[in-house]
Chain A
Amino acid sequence: MSKRINLREFQQDLIDRMQAEGRGGEQISTLGVRIAEQNWLVDMRDIGGVLPLPPLAPVPLAKPWFLGMINVRGALYGVTDLAAYLHAGKAASAGLGQAVATGSGQASGAAANRILLVADRYAFNAALLVERVSGLRNARNWTQNEVDGQIQYRDEQGNSWHKLDIAGLLMQPDFLHISA
């Protein structure tokens, strides 16, 4: 386990990569998350921030996947449990339904759960609860294919990834209709 990191090499490597990134080429812009035991890729331009789950103010007479309201630096956001939402809407939704057919439908609620804030440019105070944030993922070199209009990726280890379309999600009428 004693993999001592050579600070100098690390620093050199970092500088190299930053320069390489700066010279051109596409920058890494996707974030890997895990929802309902499935890997999803989220465009980082669609999200305004990531934060651990703060205290929730529950909303009465709401759908089960609408967990409640949170306060982030003075702004209020409505939190949607994505896993539950996907599970509930698998039959109704044509676009998303098939992709989430195998989901359990509920976020784990563990310490690793994170809230993704929807980017400010959508002007939509919505927050999405995901099971875990896997980290930045560069999907440029991954094989991709389309299944029923949905783009699926397969990484180097052979894991399959779904693409989470935030804009499409926001436009779904069910997503906006939270009253039970």
Chain B
Amino acid sequence: MAFKLALPKFKLPGTKAAGAERKIAGKASLTPLSARFPVTLKIRLLSGSLVAFFAVAAAAAYVNSRVADYTARYLTQSGKLLVLSQRLAKDAQLCSLGNDAAFQALAQSRENFAGILRLLDKGDGSLPATGDAAREVLNEVLASANKTLSDVRILEEGRLGLVTLGATVAGIEATSAEFRQQTLVLIRSASGAQKEYAIRFALAAERMARDATSALTTDAYQEQLGALGIEAAAAERSLAALPPEDSVTRRLAVLFEPYRINIKTLNAQSSRLAKAKSAAKSISGNIDLILAKSQQLIDAYQSDMAVRISGPIAVLAGMLVVLQLLVLAKVYLSDSRQRADEAENSNRRNQEAIRRLMSELSALAEGDLTVRATVSEDITGTIAESVNYTTEELRKLVARIMAAADQMGHATRQAEQISKGLLEAAQKQALEIRKAGESVQAMARSIQEVDRSAAKATEVGQRTLKATGMGGQAVRNTIAGMDSIREQIQNTAKRIKRLGESSQEIGEIVDLISDITELTNVLALNAAIQAVSADEAGRGFPVVAEEVQRLAERSAEAAKQIGALVRTIQGDTQDAVAAMEKSTLGVVEGAKLSDVAGQALKEIEQVSRELAALIDGISASTRTQTDMAGKVAHAMRNILQITQQATDGTRLTANSVAQLANLSADLKGSVAGFKL
């Protein structure tokens, strides 16, 4: 069993830890199988199996004790079964004799018996069901016991009949003496047929007593019961034949009444009684078998206990535990010894490897960085590997230092050139700054010039302001003058209009005059015509008429001319009015223009005021500029100084760079000793 347990674990080592250990112990591959495993693993295996065995032993002991306990209980119960079966048989016997108390005892026994059988058969919370070899015996016991139990149940069903029978027999026995005495009295007192009936009754009663007793004790109770019935009927008939008014007869009837009733009951119960009787008999017959089987059951339980293997297992496991402990101790000891040997061997190997390593590395100390130490599997292997790594890194470092020194030389040469350029630039810068300072001073002078000009401009602005004020006044005067001109023109226009109206009136008057002249003319003509018709005395009249007519013609002519003149005057006045309206418009326009001019002058005033303010601002800023220029000049001087310092610094830097170049050459020389 130990081998079985160890075998699956034997296959387990495949883990990394085990692999690593095996690599170290690679040369010991020829050692036996068990020795191939490391000691720790062995110890782990052994202690594992040890614990397992211990557990098995404990489990076996526990099971053993439990089984023993159960078996003890089984034995107790089956012992009880033995006693109970005997009591059952006794009680059944008593019951068949009609003992009422025995029935109660029988029921109690039956209960207990059935309970024990159930316990053994099915078990309960604390006891398992019976198993293994005892089971077969138990099954046999159960078969016969169940039969007995059913018999007992049948017996109990016949309880009423049996008890009645018992009571009847007891009643008959109790009353038989008095009964006999009473019948004797009756026989003695009776005569004739009545005497015969009395004798018959007495015989029937005697027989009834005998039959009842035999029915209780013997097996042929059925025939006895039948006989009892017949006898009871005969007794009844005999009793009926007797004179009923007789006191003895009455007493007999009273005594006989329970007989009759009991016998009737017995007859009714006869079939059950029969079954009960046979059941009681069967119980008595069966009980021996049950007793034998129960004994067998007890034996089976005892032998079952002896057959249990858990006890030996526990013992065997304990022994194996002790054996494992011994093996463990042995393994531990051999392991310590092997370790000491291995330590000595490896020490020797290490010393040798270190010597070899030292000899290989001696060239390295002389600066040969191409040397490589041999990488073996010894302890120095890793050292050699790391030394190689270090040497390689050192080689790279030296190479880098050399490259850096080269670069530095190159860079310093560049820096030298740059610093030279810087020096020149600084000198140029100083020159430029000096020039700039001069320019700034010139600028300051020109700014002062601007300041003076600004002051003059301010004066001019003031004068402009005055002039614009005067101009504004003049424009206002002009506007006033224009207004008065307009009024005058308007007055003139009115007058001229009136003149035109007057000339129209003149025209009308002239028309009237011309009409009058026409009429005069006509008058003169008529006069002349009349004169022609007259005689000699009127001869001179046509001359007058002619003259009148001529005058009229002339005046008509004059009136015509006046009319023309008047028309001309009217046209001229209309033209004049139109012209005056035009000039009024012109004057208004002129006033507007003058107003605009006044506005423009006002704006000019405003502008010149703003201009003066601006010029003041300009002169203020020029003063500030002058101050600023002075500060700038000062700053320029400072810058010049700083530039000179920078120039000196650049010179120093150039020197330092030259030194740096030397240093880099030195560095290169010192590194050159390494062989790469």
Contact = CB atoms under 8 A, between A and B. Distances in A.
Interface string B513-557: 000001101100110110011000001101111110110010000
Interface stretch (A41-49, A61-69, A88-96): A41-49
A50 B540 contact: no
Contacts of B550: 135
B184 interface: no
A27 B539 contact: yes
Nearest to B550: A135
B561 interface: yes
Interface in A18-70: 18-19, 21-22, 27-29, 31, 44-45, 47-52
B528 A44 contact: yes
27 contacts: A1-B558, A14-B543, A14-B547, A18-B540, A22-B540, A27-B539, A27-B542, A28-B542, A28-B546, A29-B532, A31-B525, A44-B528, A44-B529, A45-B532, A45-B533, A50-B522, A50-B526, A51-B522, A52-B518, A114-B522, A133-B525, A135-B525, A135-B549, A135-B553, A136-B542, A136-B546, A136-B549
A17 interface: yes
A20 to B, nearest CB: 9
A114 B540 CA distance: 25
The 4 closest A-B pairs by CB, nearest first: A18-B540, A44-B532, A50-B525, A17-B543
A111 B515 CA distance: 10
Nearest to A25: B539
Contact of B529 (A19, A22, A50): A50
Interface string A1-26: 10000000010001001110110000
Contacts of B549: 135-136
A129 to B, nearest CB: 15
Nearest to B546: A136
Given A50-B529, A136-B549, 18 more contacts: A1-B561, A10-B547, A14-B543, A18-B540, A19-B540, A27-B532, A27-B542, A31-B528, A45-B532, A48-B529, A49-B526, A51-B526, A111-B518, A133-B522, A133-B525, A135-B549, A136-B525, A136-B542
A21 B539 contact: yes
B532 A14 contact: no
A17 B539 CA distance: 11
A15 to B, nearest CB: 9
Contacts of B533: 45, 119
Interface of A: 1, 10, 14, 17-19, 21-22, 27-29, 31, 44-45, 47-52, 111, 114, 119, 133, 135-136
B365 to A, nearest CB: 162
Contacts of B519: 52
Contacts of A47: 529
B544 A136 contact: no
Nearest to B542: A28
A23 to B, nearest CB: 9
B296 to A, nearest CB: 193
B232 to A, nearest CB: 197
A48 B518 CA distance: 19
Contacts of A52: 518-519, 522
A136 B528 contact: yes
Contacts of B544: 14, 18
Contact of A136 (B522, B540, B545, B558): B545
A140 B351 CA distance: 200
A11 B540 CA distance: 13
Contacts of A48: 529
Contacts of A45: 532-533
Nearest to B557: A1
Contact of B540 (A21, A29, A49, A133): A21
A21 B522 contact: no
A51 to B, nearest CB: 6
Nearest to B549: A135
Contacts of A44: 528-529, 532
Nearest to A42: B529
B542 A49 contact: no
A114 B532 CA distance: 19
A136 B543 CA distance: 10
A135 B518 CA distance: 12
Nearest to B528: A136
Q: Which of B521, B542, B549, B561 has the most CB of A within 10 A?
A: B542
A58 to B, nearest CB: 24
A18 B545 CA distance: 11
A29 B539 CA distance: 10
Interface in B559-610: 561
A169 B123 CA distance: 196
Interface string B220-236: 00000000000000000
A14 B522 CA distance: 20
B525 A22 contact: no
A91 B607 CA distance: 98
A1 B558 CA distance: 8
B538 to A, nearest CB: 9
A170 to B, nearest CB: 18
A48 B529 CA distance: 7
A135 B550 CA distance: 8
A60 to B, nearest CB: 30
Contacts of A1: 558, 561
Contacts of B542: 21, 27-29, 136
B162 to A, nearest CB: 191
Contacts of A51: 522, 526
A53 B160 CA distance: 195
Contacts of A19: 540
Q: Which of A52, A111, A135 has the most CB of B within 10 A?
A: A135
A27 B529 CA distance: 12
